[in-house]
Amino acid sequence: MASHPKIVAIGGGKGGVGKSTVSILLAFWFARMGKKTILVDADLGGANLHTFMGIKNPPRTLNDFVTRRYDSLEEICLDTELENLRLIGGASDILSLANIHVSQKAKLIQNLSRLDADYVIIDLGAGTSYNVLDFFLAADKKIVVLIPQPISIQNAYAFIRNTMYRRLSQLVNQKSSLQSLIKTAMDTNNELKVRTVSELLQIVEELNGKEAMSALQGEIRRIQPFVITNMVRTNRDKGAGRVIQMVADKYLMIRSVDLGSIVYEQKLYTTVTEMLPLTSLIQSSEAFASVYGMAVTLLRDD
């Protein structure tokens, strides 16, 4: 293809913060703005995005691509009731998909960039497994979702921290000394007393030179995630994203971007908890309106 779609990955710590809802809301707005959009359920082993889209039993899923029943991701895309929006569903009952092999993961990531779309939005699973982090790192735009609760803020920070260390580990996998140093630094109570990335880079420079340090520093700066605070009830709740900005900058040297907040909405919450299609209320949803500015910002950022 002459051009590749922009890949947007949505992750962030534990489940229950509304990653799937945010993914759908963004996908709806992109599609309504005339962008050919594909929504991908990459919650490997725990997929449910198709349910929120009003599709009970997807005839084709990611597992069909991974097991080579289809040669391309394009073949497993499903049309939705919305113009410009298609879906690639996951398979919640397939254990092999949850434990995808590294070569299958690499093939999947590679094929995402070959899809016929302007934007590919990937809804990631909960946690910080290598699968989740690698899909997140492969994206052009990385979005971390949290809710205004202390444990969620901690989880979001841990997600960004693990993303950074995963990237550094990938870069130095051929250098055993640096690999050992990074693994040691990942332990918050490490014997070297490394508490910040700045301290880690200082040790890298001392042991391996300024060039090695600068290379790692450059990769850290490239991560630059967007942060969305979901289920906001008060003005004070809106500050959760800015907390992540300050802490990630201070300890990780990562400059995140606060993309804004989404209001808490009871009817939306009820729809999600009861596993009902979001398509039934999306047009009248206040949360849907909250995401409009985020979508505009992401498009303008290109």
Q: Find the helix or strand (DSSP H, E) in which 119 lies.
A: strand 119-124
What is the pTM assigned to this prediction? 0.91
Q: Please give the Cα distance from 264 to 245 (Å, whole number).
A: 22
Residue pair 66/89 in contact (Cβ under 8 Å)? The answer is: no
> What confidence score (pLDDT) does residue 11 get?
93
The per-residue pLDDT for 95 is 47
d(CA 295, CA 290): 10
Structural domain includes residue 242: yes
CATH of the domain at 95: 3.40.50.300
CA-based angle 33:38:41, to the nearest 5? 130
In the chain, the largest separation of any two C-alpha atoms, in whole Å, equals 59
Asked if residue 184 belongs to a domain, the reply is: no
Q: How far is CA 104 from the centre of its chain?
A: 19
Is 197 inside any structural domain? no
Q: Give me the residues of the chain with pLDDT under 70, please.
A: 1-2, 44-46, 91-99, 174, 176, 282-283
Give the count of beta carbons closer than 10 Å to the beta carbon of residue 110: 11
In which domain, by residue range, is 148 found?
6-152+226-292
* Rg (the chain; Cα; Å): 19
pLDDT at 92: 56
The count of domains in the chain is 1
- Asked if the structure places residue 1 within a domain, the reply is no
Residue 301 lies in a domain: no
Is 60 domain-assigned?
yes
Query: Is 219 inside a domain boundary?
Result: no
Instruction: Look at the block and give the residue holding tokens 């799937």.
Output: 20
Q: Does any domain span residue 245?
A: yes
**Looking at residue 4, what is its pLDDT?**
87
- The type of residue at 76 is I
CA atoms within 13 A on the CB side of 236: 2
